A and B are shown apart, each in its own frame.
Chain A
Amino acid sequence: MWKFFHQLASPPHFYRLAAIFSPWFLAPAIALIAYGVYAGLFIAPMDYQQGDAFRIIYVHVPSAYLSMMAYMIMAISGGIGLIWRMKLAHAVAAAAAPLGAAFTFLALVTGSIWGRPMWGTWWEWGDPRLTSELILLFLYFGYMALRGAIDDTAKADKASAVLALVGIVNVVIVHFSVEWWSSLHQGQTLMKEGGPAMDPGMLYPLLAMIFGFNLLFGSLLLRRTRTEVLFRERRTRWVKEMILSPGGQS
């Protein structure tokens, strides 16, 4: 078992395995998302309060979920890289940042589009859920800017890992904001005591979208990390041998 993990963390193995595994994430992701979009838009019953506007949930919630999960992956990978000096972990962290930023952007914008007809406003300054999610986006930008500003990869890895770890506080705030303070944003629907407060016809497409987005993220992260590993290892012997070998793995 340990041997397996050790091998997995070695750059040439990871480079090879990531290419093999990423389609196995992408294919079910496409299937789940296709079902989720179709069922969410056309089959799920209309919400009695929100009408068809509630269907935005099928893109908003998975994006918002990923905005936080990507951050946790980035911060925890950075932490693992700091503690165990594992290079692959830093590569994962670096690869997760732009993906996390993209899904945070989506969560904010789809939320805003949903808020307009439901709350009568695109944006509400001072709302804890909205503001902390915006801070999350800025944390991603700050993280990427910090990485970009330091030429020495090892130093950039360390500094950005510390920033990411400190920023976890904000993810906790995003998550609990709807419970701790009064917010325009509705409370938890899925992770609730007594099970999800939703009709099964609405719930299944949502679960499919959440799993589908997770798998999609997994596939994107694997491939982004793979490129990051290749770039970091560009001066090593295995990269040279791979590229010079007939049919080197692009």
Chain B
Amino acid sequence: MELLEMGKYGAYVWTAFGLTLVVVLINEWRVRARQATVYRDIEVRIKALEEIE
């Protein structure tokens, strides 16, 4: 447990690392979500146009 306390700076160190992890994960998730949304929107539009034709 002493290892995790980081002297008296545990709160600062862990907050900084935790926040970094959160921001990186949000970025990873947003990249995937945006690709899925854009792809699906185009797919829906193109397939709808195909059916009209």
Contact = CB atoms under 8 A, between A and B. Distances in A.
A110 B16 contact: yes
Contacts of A198: none
Interface string A208-246: 000000001000100110110011001000011001100
B13 to A, nearest CB: 5
Contacts of A231: 38, 42
Interface in A81-130: 98-99, 102-103, 105-106, 109-110, 113-114, 116-117
B16 A250 contact: no
Interface in B9-53: 9-10, 12-13, 15-17, 19-20, 23-24, 26-28, 30-32, 34-36, 38-39, 42-43, 45-47, 50
Contact of B7 (A46, A98, A216, A244): A46
Given A99-B27, A226-B35, A239-B42, A244 B20 contact: no
Nearest to A62: B20
Contacts of B26: 102
A106 B12 contact: no
B9 to A, nearest CB: 4
A227 B36 CA distance: 9
A27 interface: no
Contacts, number: 95
Nearest to A57: B16
A106 B20 contact: yes
A42 B13 CA distance: 12
Interface residues of B, number: 32
A213 B31 CA distance: 16
Contacts of A51: 6-9
A243 B40 CA distance: 10
Contacts of A55: 6, 9, 13
A240 B34 contact: no
B1 interface: no
Interface of A: 37, 41-42, 46, 51-53, 55-56, 58-60, 63, 98-99, 102-103, 105-106, 109-110, 113-114, 116-117, 216, 220, 223-224, 226-227, 230-231, 234, 239-240, 243-244, 248, 250
Given A41-B17, A51-B9, A113-B16, 6 more contacts: A46-B7, A56-B12, A98-B30, A99-B27, A110-B16, A243-B46
Interface of B: 3, 6-10, 12-13, 15-17, 19-20, 23-24, 26-28, 30-32, 34-36, 38-39, 42-43, 45-47, 50
